[in-house]
Structure 1
């Protein structure tokens, strides 16, 4: 038992990956030390700046892909209204946990507003983008949206929390599952977001948060042929990595959604690119 005059043992924080609704360590065992963004506090002479971040490996990504693929059908099968409820619950958790984020409160509020914005689209976007098509035969022909599938999202690190919630909200509101690639230096922010995701009723595997060397893991993701789409802020990677991503996407006919950043929410047309159009013929 520690008396009042004795120093406490510093409990160092290891930030884990959030995969399949669980917090896990990388199978590689690799952990990077980072400098936290929040100012240090006095802790009896201990150094509070020791924060360790698990580095996601190629195997971690493959495992996450299996979980996301299994979760995708169930998530897409939910009503748009229910997906909106869960996104709104995420906004509630972000609001309640604002103090846990290593950023200014205004940035958390902006992220909350963005999640609410996308939650509002959940039961409306399909009606907006679906259509009844005129045909010259005795049939009814209509087009409807369905999710594109499993998405890798790389937001611009400069957009911080807002970029992360914009990417995951845009992908999930359309019924997709998503892997969020976050740079190691943003690990503390990713951890706070993951903790909110773990308490917002989001089914396991729908959103996976992988702290990693983004460019290195993207190279492996490009060669994973079961990946359906990449949601990419152009500023997140360099020109060479972007060109390689475009070439691999063309090789397997993978959808590549390039966005400028998170300053504005995704438009309805951008959301449409996170879905496929299914056309149905019925005899009249």
Structure 2
């Protein structure tokens, strides 16, 4: 049968929110050139309402995720690495970066049941009390990876926030839609609870202006190069208004060290009678 006149089925990349693949409520899409072929594809563009809906979903999912043991969170992050590995062929020309992304998910999975012991302390107190400092998740984090770092940047940002017990919304520019879809498909099949890690393609600088004004957001995780210096300054200014944490990190070439992960957590101090 001849395929010369076959109608091409054009692909539309959807948002991944709450464990489901959804279109933007606005119906808007961006037409971009595929990263892996000469074809053009459609990529859903997340709107302000999409972000507000994602925030509600992430907020509801965060407590359950934080309530899991570190060991269980590590199992799920390791399963994410397995799923990315199994989909390596979906990223032609990205073999090396895909392998690094897999290794990065495994790295954070290994920290999941150890980071609390490293960052928590028994504080010396000269009284008949025992004083502990323990870490707990900061809450809901919006992560903005550097598009130049591709899948590695997305995986690093998502795993760094999630390993600390946070729910995370990863914002990705539309021209990185295929990489975002690959990550979303891996998340959908790795036992990650719905709403813990959400991936949204959008016009990142434009949406970030509205993210800054969402008072229920707990932290912003910004990678240098993802947005310009003026956008970072504005994010910090808006964060001061509601005591929101802004974590600015360098390149994703190296995994976030424990002291960076600590910035994605809060410290709870407990006093107990000895």
Give the TM-score of the pair, scaled to structure 1: 0.94
What's the CA shift for 1:7? Answer: 3.3
Other-structure match for 1:198: 188
Alignment of 1:241-260 (within 5 A): 241-260=231-250
Other-structure match for 2:27: 29
Separation in structure 2 between the aligned mates of residue 6 and residue 50 of structure 1, nearest angstrom: 19
**Number of positions where the alignment pairs a residue of Structure 1 with one of Structure 2:** 274
3-state SS of 1:26 partner: coil
Alignment of 1:170-249 (within 5 A): 170-249=160-239
Alignment equivalent of 2:159, drawn from 169, 172, 175: 169
Other-structure match for 1:109: 99
3-state SS of 2:225 partner: helix
**Structure 1, unaligned stretches of length 5 or more?**
41-48
Separation in structure 1 between the aligned mates of residue 248 and residue 149 of structure 2, nearest angstrom: 15
- Which is further off, 3-12 or 167-176? 3-12
Larger Rg, first or second structure (1 or 2):
1
- Please tell me whether residue 120 in structure 1 is matched to residue 118 in structure 2: no
C-alpha change, 1:214 and 1:6, in structure 2 (3 Å) is closer
Separation in structure 2 between the aligned mates of residue 159 and residue 118 of structure 1, nearest angstrom: 18
Separation in structure 1 between the aligned mates of residue 251 and residue 40 of structure 2, nearest angstrom: 31
C-alpha change, 1:224 and 1:138, in structure 2 (3 Å) is same
**Structure 2, unaligned stretches of length 5 or more?**
none
Alignment equivalent of 1:83, drawn from 70, 73, 80: 73
Runs of 4+ off more than 6 Å: none
- Please tell me whether residue 13 in structure 1 is matched to residue 3 in structure 2: no
What's the CA shift for 1:15? Answer: 0.3
